[in-house]
Amino acid sequence: MRAYLLVLILPALLAACARPGVDPMYPPVAARAPGATDHTILIATTRKRSPDPGAMFSGERGKGIEYAEAVVSVPPTHVSGNIEWPSQRPGNPNTDFVTRESSYLDSEKAFVAAVNQQLAQRPPGHRDVMLFVHGYNTLFPEGLYRLAQVAHDSKAQGVPVYFSWASRGELAGYVYDQNSATIARDALEHILVLLAKSNAEKINVLAHSMGNWVTVEAFRNIAMTREFRGYGHKLGAIILASPDIDVDVFRSQMARIGTPKKPFLIVLSRDDRALAVSRFIAGDKSRLGDYKHAANLTKYNAIVVDLSDVKGENPLNHDKFAEIAKIAPQLRQVLAEGVGKKGSVDQLNPVEDAPGVVKTALTLPIAMVAAPIVIIARQAQ
């Protein structure tokens, strides 16, 4: 039966994970299209530099942390949730995502200076960082452009920072990627400390898929050290999107981390076909991102955003977090009001067999989100 399931899923996986037609990192496109939007992204990575300078970083593991920055242009014809990949070099800034500039930074000091420079361009009260950690089977430019897309669609005002660990971007590279993610956890911890010591007022973290393993492990490390103490107030939203983590492993990690002062936001979908494959590889052990008993996760002071009823544009249903980025302002408002508070949102209903837990169906007037988003949280006292 399990073999039959894999046969059913793999064709869709192969079709949905097709690479962009060309490497969009080079050559840079200097021309600026009318109506296009530039996003300056700071980069920290455990990848090895590519032998082709224009490509910046390969899928191989480096010996330490490398730093860089890039300016990504989002075209005026952009459709929310999409990445408009170039079909040929160098790409057309009128219709495609293109890299306008890219350069290496020679040290972590230069990286922090670049972060502070970007923060200084924002008014006090808005000097936040948005740190993105990509998932499995991701080439360097794919994660870079995904961050640009999410930052653009969500209208996030923070400085976008891209932490890229060494994924080869190959379907057969699951074990290599998993080991690379494990190697990268100390590096991500270091980047979190650097950002905490920067001039950032808040550090918001968005992790996707296997990137959640790196992220939660980094927070586990932080919980066991003193280096981050005194900076906890700088942590903002921690969003675990489609997390490819064994549920039992997550429980173990949270036992070490303890109850976070600010709830983690776990974005899951029970129809995530990529995680179904991961679950198969892991011996049919549930993944956090498609967990069927979502109410149980609230015991870790987590708020669950269940997108199971939302139709994804990708056949895998693994990137729904990116497709609904445009509703981020409305979602932020609902979460700020307090999901578990009586009267904060409509249709608060108790969850069966989960005392003290409530859920609400959040319906938004947006065509793409035809079905409600279900939010599950502990009832506020």
Residues above pLDDT 70, as percent of the chain? 80
Would you tell me how many other CB atoms lie within 10 Å of the CB of residue 95?
16
Per residue in 204-219, pLDDT (tens digit) is: 999 999 999 999 999 9
- Which pLDDT value is given to residue 286? 87
Q: Report, as an integer, the average pLDDT of 214-235.
A: 87
Q: Examine residue 189 and state whether it is found in any structural domain, yes or no.
A: yes
Q: Examine residue 209 and state whether it is found in any structural domain, yes or no.
A: yes
Strands 235-241 and 202-208, sheet pairing? parallel
Q: How confident is the model at residue 16 (pLDDT cuts 50, 70, 90)?
A: very low
Strand partners, 357: 378
- Which pLDDT value is given to residue 347? 54
Specify the number of domains making up the chain.
1
Q: Examine residue 47 and state whether it is found in any structural domain, yes or no.
A: yes
Q: Examine residue 135 and state whether it is found in any structural domain, yes or no.
A: yes
8-state DSSP, 285? P
User: Which tokens in the block code for residue 203?
Assistant: 């550090």
Could you list the residue range(s) of the whole structural domain that residue 123 is in?
Answer: 22-241
Q: Examine residue 206 and state whether it is found in any structural domain, yes or no.
A: yes
Phi and psi at 321, nearest 5°, equal -60, -35
Q: Examine residue 380 and state whether it is found in any structural domain, yes or no.
A: no
- Looking up tokens 């990949």, which residue turns up? 85
Would you tell me how many other CB atoms lie within 10 Å of the CB of residue 35?
12
Q: Report, as an integer, the average pLDDT of 162-176.
A: 92
Residue 225's alpha-carbon distances to 95, 203, 255, 278, 295, in angstroms, are 47, 19, 15, 31, 30
- Which pLDDT value is given to residue 353? 58
- Omega before 76 cis (within 30°)? no
Output 347 or 48, whichever has higher pLDDT: 48
Give the torsion through C-alpha atoms of 309, 310, 316, 318, to 10 deg.
-100
- Report the candidate in 338, 319, 368, 328 with the shortest Cα–Cα distance to residue 156: 328
How much is the pTM? 0.88
Percentage helix, strand, coil, to 5, in the chain? 35, 25, 40
Per residue in 105-159, pLDDT (tens digit) is: 999 999 999 999 999 999 999 999 999 999 999 999 999 999 999 999 988 889 9
Output 25 or 156, whichever has higher pLDDT: 156
- Which pLDDT value is given to residue 263? 82
Q: At residue 91, what is the residue type?
A: G
Q: Examine residue 345 and state whether it is found in any structural domain, yes or no.
A: no
Strands 235-241 and 264-268, sheet pairing? parallel
Q: Examine residue 249 and state whether it is found in any structural domain, yes or no.
A: no
